[in-house]
Structure formats: C-alpha cells, structure tokens
C-alpha cells in the first residue's frame, strides 16, 4: 500500500459534518496548512452547491415529494435520498421523512441500533434506515465528494488510501465507538483511527497557537474543554503535568453524553414567543412555528452579539403570496432572553446544585433520552463533583483553572461569561480564564487533521487512553431467591487510561464456558472509579458503575469436545490502535480464543443490582423525555 498523501480529519457531528485535510509528508521547516473540503450537496432539486459544512440530515422522500432526478449528484445521478442542506430544509417540512441526530441514536442503548428504526415517527409504510446505516451514508457522501474532487485521475489519492481520523464524543462508550467504526466500514473506509472530540478541539487550539501555547498554560493546571453544540454537550478535563522535565498533557476525565444544546435554546425561545402571541389571540400553525424558531435563532444571535440592543423584532411572513398582509410581528426583549437563556440554561447556582431528576412516569414514549434538566451549568457541576468522588486521595473537586470552549453555541460571549462566572464562584479562583479559540464550528475537524501530524512527531500529544473503567459482571454464588436479582460483582478488565495497543490478561478469575452454548457477560463501566486495577473485584459500587451492554460469545464445538463440555477460560482485554475495545476468552489448556461480541440489540431493562441498588441510577440510565417537536 502506498504511503498516504493526505491526513484527513472528519468531524461527524450531530448537526454538521466537516472534513479537514493537510499534507502528510511535510519538510521539517514547512508550516502545515489545514484546508476544508468543499462538499457538494443538493440545496434545491437539481441544484448542487459545494459548502464546507454538510448538515447531518438525511431525507428519505416518498415517491411524490421530490421531482424525479432532483437529487442527482455529480457522482451518482440516480439518487433516491438526499444528504445535507436540502435534506434539512425540506425535511423540516416533512418531519416523518427526515433522519436527524443519527449520532445520538448510536449511543442510545434502549433500541436495537442495527434495525431500521429511523425516522422514529415514520408512517408504517415509510422508508426507514438504521442509525448505523444513516451514519454510514454521511461518511459515504464525504468519500464520494473527496474522490470526485481530489482523486479524479490518481487512485492513490482516494480517501480510502489516506490517513483518516474520525472524531467521536468523549462520552461515547465502547459500544458506540465500535458502531462508529462499523459505520465507517459500511461506507467503504476500513482504515481509520478514532479521536475524541474535546481532545480534537484542544489540538486545534494547539495548532492555532503553535508558537506560543506553552506560555498560555502552566504545569499543574487543569483545563476544562466545554463543548456545547447544536444537540449535545460534552465536557472533558485535561491535566498539564511535568514528567522528567517534559511537559505532559493527559486527558483525565470525560463526562456523560448530554442531549442538550443550541436547538433546545431556540425551541425554548420559540415556545415562549408562541405563548406571548397566543395571549394576543394569534395562533400559529406548524409552518409558522418553524419560521418562528428560525427567527428566534437569528434574534438570539443578534442580541447576544450586540450587548447594546434592547430588543430584536421577530417577523413571520404570511404564508402564500400575501406576505405583508399575513405578517405576524412580535419582539424578543433582552430581559426575556436573559431570563430564558441565561437563567434557564446557564444559571449560576451553588456548586452542589445537581441536575434535577424528574421521577419516571409509568408509560413513557421511547425516543432519544433528552436531558430532563436544561441547566447546563448544573450538569457541569455534577461532572466536576463526580471526579472528586472517584478519587480517594483528595476529597476536593478538581476545578479547572482555564476553559477552552467549543461548539456553535459558545460563539456568544455572554454565554461563555456565564460559564466562567459559575466556575469562578464554585472554585473561588478569580483568575480562572478562557483560552481564546477561533473557528468554534470547525475546530474538531481541524484538530483531527492536526492530530495526524502530531502522531508523526510535529507537536505535543495529549495522552488519553480508555475514557472509562470497564468491568465484567460476575454473579455471586448465592442461592436463588425469587423476585430478587442476584447481586453482581464487578471485575475490572480495562483500567482507566489504558493506552492504545495495550493488552491485559486477567488470570485471577477463571470462567467455565459451556461448549455449544452462548456465553453472556454483563459489561459495565464507570467514569469515576479511576483507581481500580486490572483484575480487581468490586463488591460495593454504589452509583458509580452502570451497565453498558452485554457481551456474547458462541463457542462452536470442535472434534475433541462433545456434548456440553466445560472449558476453563480467562479473559483478555485489548485497546486497539483504532480506538475500540476487544475482549477475548482465552482457553487455559489450549491456544484457542473466542472474541466476545457486543450485543447491540435492544437491552431489556435488566435491573442489575450491586449490593446497594440505587433507584437513582436506574432512572438515570432510562430517563427520557417526550420529543420536543411533535
């Protein structure tokens, strides 16, 4: 295989996908230049425009909704689905044909992610795809766009032959990462490496300040990466330390995948404005409401970027051709904006104010597990406090001393100011500062491309490793009691921070697997217990460990074993170079090994119990909310 010419970073975001690339082989004194690929996409039937951002929306039109041949692309004329700008705008009019937020479905454990379930509310005879297939189509669109623009004549310049880095949220667990890699393989991109998004944003910052970043951070500091995009919020902590005279950066903590972002804010404003109009006896239909959401987004941006404006008019033009006669007017005042956004989403409360957990109602609608509490600062407080809970050495919360912001929502200066004020109040550190960043939409893709250069030795590497501690659940040997689930012990198989390429053999515990039968293991994870070593058994884990998935292995019988022979095996864990997790059962008496596969089908709500069950975790794992836009 020829050496790659380009290093490519792909940000497969919840609302936007971006591809950045740079030359792989640079001379020593050459400065790297990172470019964005202009991705051709349908903007209107029959019109193709190249833009650097590809909205992560997929439209599956029925037979009569799009003119025939209207979705033709330069590389394929007989397209029957659309990805990108047109999918988003037309899909807003046809919500049961639109797949949005496929990425958030990839880490939703409550559904079978390989079955065709999206769009979630498609009619019975409507077209459907699985979240895996939808993500694969976004990547395939990128691959075709790249091949068409960069690799017309030369097969070595195709995307499959380049060095590829795909970003995933740091909060994605091992199963979601595995699915992302599968989606890439479905899209025809088998060779890739995963990189976490907050780390990628940090690399983009390192690249932007390539000469002077060492002056901006000091040894002993903790940096918070606060990534709030259109649909998700993600937090990470990076520690700056000194090892043998060298500056070392290590990613020490990741948060949960919180489905809360800019779209929630726009909807909140729109609902409030709709209520205001209803008081004046003006009711909006669905089309007008969508127009109101768009106007609210623009008015919000204007008010946040111009602190001297007191209010911003909101105008919804009349439907049909009597624009002016049917125009509906209202305005968004700064007071309302502050009350809803700043106090609703970024309230500055005490450091112990954690997200409210709404009690669960018996029947709930399945869907994406949206966060029940919209206050992002409370989620941040919870994330920071959990880091202290895991460490036994220090009882204090490791507050950061500098914050790097990422994501479209954080472009607004007042919102950044709120987060900084909250952190300053909690930590008592008035000198808590912001690391200035540019390109908040594009930083993740640019950082991923820069990471490729870093791996070649061009810059400092942020040590990451496994973002969670992973365990296998072992049932204690106890007599069965009907109605009470057998308590599990957790055996640590992957310690926190296990680096890529490392392998561990867990010889302390042996399991007996029955030949010919399927073996099922419970797979558990913790983001706060960082001190557990490989092979350690944990009896009493409180709220710190939660179930991720089940692992299965099918042992085919060979010639030697017949019937239901029992084979003693021990476990072997490995973090691959790609960034995914592999667990193997290795037979003690022979050389045979069997790989444990993640069961990505629907997880029944197995109420697993440690010795101390807490209803809170169960609610946490299953908290859903009715989808905001009906």
Partner 1 sequence: MNAKQNFTTQALLATIILNAVLLGAIYFMAGESLQASGQLVSLLVMGVVLTVILAGLIVFLGGRAIDAAMTAALASVPTPAPAFKETPTPAPKVERTPTPPKPAPVAPPQPAPTAAALQMLAILQREGRLIDFLQEDLSLYEDEQIGAAVRSIHAGCKGALAAHVTLEPVVAEAEGSPITVAPGFDAHAIRLTGDVAGEPPFRGVVRHRGWRAVKVDLPQLMANQAAQSVVAAAEVEVER
Contact positions vs partner 1 (CB under 8 A): 20, 33-38, 40, 43-49, 52, 67, 69-70, 72-74, 77, 148-150, 152-153, 287, 295, 298, 313, 315-317, 321-325, 327, 329, 438-439, 442, 446
Residue pair 8/163 in contact (Cβ under 8 Å)? The answer is yes
Structure tokens at 88: 């988003």
For the bound state, the minimum distance from the C-beta of residue 559 to partner 1, rounded and expressed in Å, comes to 57
For the bound state, the minimum distance from the C-beta of residue 120 to partner 1, rounded and expressed in Å, comes to 20
Which CB atom, from 436 or from 568, has the smaller least distance to partner 1? 436
Distance CA 76, CA 66 (A): 17
For the bound state, the minimum distance from the C-beta of residue 203 to partner 1, rounded and expressed in Å, comes to 15
How far, in Å, are 104, 108, 514, 599, 628 from residue 367 at the CA level?
Answer: 10, 9, 37, 20, 11
Q: Where are the alpha helices (DSSP H) in 71-227?
A: 85-93, 102-106, 131-150, 174-186, 197-208
Structure tokens at 4: 């790659």
For the bound state, the minimum distance from the C-beta of residue 286 to partner 1, rounded and expressed in Å, comes to 9
Residue pair 475/522 in contact (Cβ under 8 Å)? The answer is no
Which CB atom, from 129 or from 332, has the smaller least distance to partner 1? 332
For the bound state, the minimum distance from the C-beta of residue 410 to partner 1, rounded and expressed in Å, comes to 19
Which CB atom, from 316 or from 578, has the smaller least distance to partner 1? 316
For the bound state, the minimum distance from the C-beta of residue 122 to partner 1, rounded and expressed in Å, comes to 15
Which CB atom, from 76 or from 508, has the smaller least distance to partner 1? 76
> Which residues does 54 contact at the CB level (< 8 Å), separation at least 6?
16, 17, 18, 39, 41, 83, 84, 138, 141, 142
Residue 166: cis peptide before it, omega within 30 degrees of 0: no
Tracing tokens 């946490």 back to the chain, one arrives at 620
Which CB atom, from 446 or from 548, has the smaller least distance to partner 1? 446
Which CB atom, from 17 or from 264, has the smaller least distance to partner 1? 17
Which CB atom, from 65 or from 338, has the smaller least distance to partner 1? 65
For the bound state, the minimum distance from the C-beta of residue 598 to partner 1, rounded and expressed in Å, comes to 37
What single DSSP character describes residue 192?
A: -
Residue pair 7/165 in contact (Cβ under 8 Å)? The answer is yes
Backbone angles phi, psi at 453, to 5 degrees: -70, -35
Which CB atom, from 286 or from 352, has the smaller least distance to partner 1? 286
Parallel, antiparallel, or unpaired for β 6-12 and 163-168? parallel
Distance CA 409, CA 413 (A): 10
For the bound state, the minimum distance from the C-beta of residue 69 to partner 1, rounded and expressed in Å, comes to 4
Which CB atom, from 285 or from 308, has the smaller least distance to partner 1? 285
Which CB atom, from 81 or from 523, has the smaller least distance to partner 1? 81
Which CB atom, from 149 or from 599, has the smaller least distance to partner 1? 149
Which CB atom, from 2 or from 152, has the smaller least distance to partner 1? 152
Which CB atom, from 46 or from 417, has the smaller least distance to partner 1? 46
For the bound state, the minimum distance from the C-beta of residue 365 to partner 1, rounded and expressed in Å, comes to 21
Partners of residue 514 on adjacent β-strands = 566
Residue 471, classed as helix, strand or coil, is strand
184 half-sphere exposure, CB direction, 13 A CA radius: 23
Distance CA 382, CA 527 (A): 12
Residue 419, classed as helix, strand or coil, is helix
Residue pair 334/364 in contact (Cβ under 8 Å)? The answer is no
392-405: b or e for each residue (b if 16 or more CB lie within 10 Å)? eeeeebbbbbbbbb
For the bound state, the minimum distance from the C-beta of residue 24 to partner 1, rounded and expressed in Å, comes to 14
Structure tokens at 206: 């390192």
For the bound state, the minimum distance from the C-beta of residue 86 to partner 1, rounded and expressed in Å, comes to 10
Distance CA 202, CA 204 (A): 5
Q: Taking the chain, what is the end-to-end CA distance rounded to the nearest angstrom?
A: 51
Angle at 86 between CA 80 and CA 92, to 5 degrees: 105
Residue pair 273/296 in contact (Cβ under 8 Å)? The answer is yes
For the bound state, the minimum distance from the C-beta of residue 572 to partner 1, rounded and expressed in Å, comes to 43
For the bound state, the minimum distance from the C-beta of residue 325 to partner 1, rounded and expressed in Å, comes to 7
């Amino acid at each position: 295989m020829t050496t790659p010419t380009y290093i490519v970073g792909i940000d497969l975001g919840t609302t936007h996908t971006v591809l950045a690339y740079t030359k792989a082989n640079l001379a020593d004194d050459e400065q790297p230049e990172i470019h964005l690929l202009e991705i051709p996409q349908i903007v209107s039937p029959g019109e193709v425009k190249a833009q650097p951002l590809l909205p992560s929306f997929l439209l599956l039109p029925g037979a009569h909704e799009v003119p025939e041949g209207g979705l033709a692309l330069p590389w394929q004329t007989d397209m029957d689905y659309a990805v990108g700008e047109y999918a988003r705008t037309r899909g807003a009019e046809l919500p049961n044909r639109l797949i949005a937020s496929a990425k958030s479905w990839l880490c939703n454990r409550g559904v079978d992610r390989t079955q065709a379930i999206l769009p979630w509310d498609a009619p019975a005879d409507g077209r459907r795809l699985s979240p895996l297939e939808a993500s694969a189509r976004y990547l395939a669109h990128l691959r075709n766009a790249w091949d068409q623009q960069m690799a017309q004549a030369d097969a070595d310049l195709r995307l499959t032959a380049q060095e590829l880095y795909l970003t995933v949220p740091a909060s994605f667990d091992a199963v979601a990462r595995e699915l992302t890699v599968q989606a890439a393989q479905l899209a025809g991109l088998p060779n890739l490496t995963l990189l976490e998004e907050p780390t990628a944003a940090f690399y983009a910052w390192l690249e932007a300040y390539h000469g002077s970043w060492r002056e901006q951070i000091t040894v002993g500091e903790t940096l918070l990466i606060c990534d709030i995009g259109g649909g998700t919020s993600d937090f990470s902590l990076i520690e700056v330390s000194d090892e043998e005279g060298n500056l070392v950066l290590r990613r020490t903590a990741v948060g949960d995948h919180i489905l809360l972002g800019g779209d929630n804010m726009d909807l909140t404003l729109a609902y409030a404005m709709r209520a205001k109009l209803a008081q004046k006896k003006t009711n909006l239909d669905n089309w007008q409401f969508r127009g109101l959401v768009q106007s609210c987004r623009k008015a919000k941006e204007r008010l946040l970027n111009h602190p001297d404006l007191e209010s911003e008019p909101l105008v919804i033009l009349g439907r049909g051709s009597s624009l002016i006669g049917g125009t509906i007017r209202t305005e968004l005042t700064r007071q309302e904006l502050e009350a809803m956004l700043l106090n609703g989403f970024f309230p500055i409360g005490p450091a112990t104010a954690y997200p409210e957990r709404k009690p669960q109602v018996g029947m709930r609608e399945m869907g994406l597990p949206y966060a029940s509490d919209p206050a992002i600062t409370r989620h941040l407080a919870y994330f920071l406090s959990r880091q202290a809970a895991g460490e036994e050495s220090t009882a204090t919360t490791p507050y950061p001393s500098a914050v790097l912001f990422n994501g479209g929502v954080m472009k607004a200066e007042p919102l950044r100011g709120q987060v900084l004020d909250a952190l300053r109040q909690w930590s008592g550190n008035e000198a808590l500062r912001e690391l200035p960043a540019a390109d908040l939409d594009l930083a993740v893709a640019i950082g991923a491309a820069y990471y490729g250069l870093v791996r070649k030795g061009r810059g400092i590497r942020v040590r990451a490793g496994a973002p969670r501690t992973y365990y296998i659940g072992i049932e204690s040997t106890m007599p069965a009691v009907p109605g009470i689930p057998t308590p599990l012990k957790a055996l640590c198989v992957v310690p926190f921070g296990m680096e890529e390429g490392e392998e561990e053999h867990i010889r302390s515990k042996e399991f007996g697997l029955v030949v010919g039968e399927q073996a099922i293991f419970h797979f558990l994870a913790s983001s706060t217990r960082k001190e557990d070593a490989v092979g350690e058994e944990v009896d009493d884990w409180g709220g710190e460990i939660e179930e991720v998935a089940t692992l299965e292995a099918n042992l085919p019988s060979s010639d030697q074993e017949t019937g239901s022979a029992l084979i003693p095996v021990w476990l072997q864990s490995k973090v691959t170079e790609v960034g995914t997790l592999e667990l193997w059962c290795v037979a003690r008496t022979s050389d045979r090994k069997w790989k444990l596969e993640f069961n990505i089908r629907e997880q029944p709500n197995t109420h697993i119990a440690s010795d101390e069950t807490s209803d809170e975790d169960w609610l946490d794992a299953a908290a859903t909310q009715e989808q905001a836009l009906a």
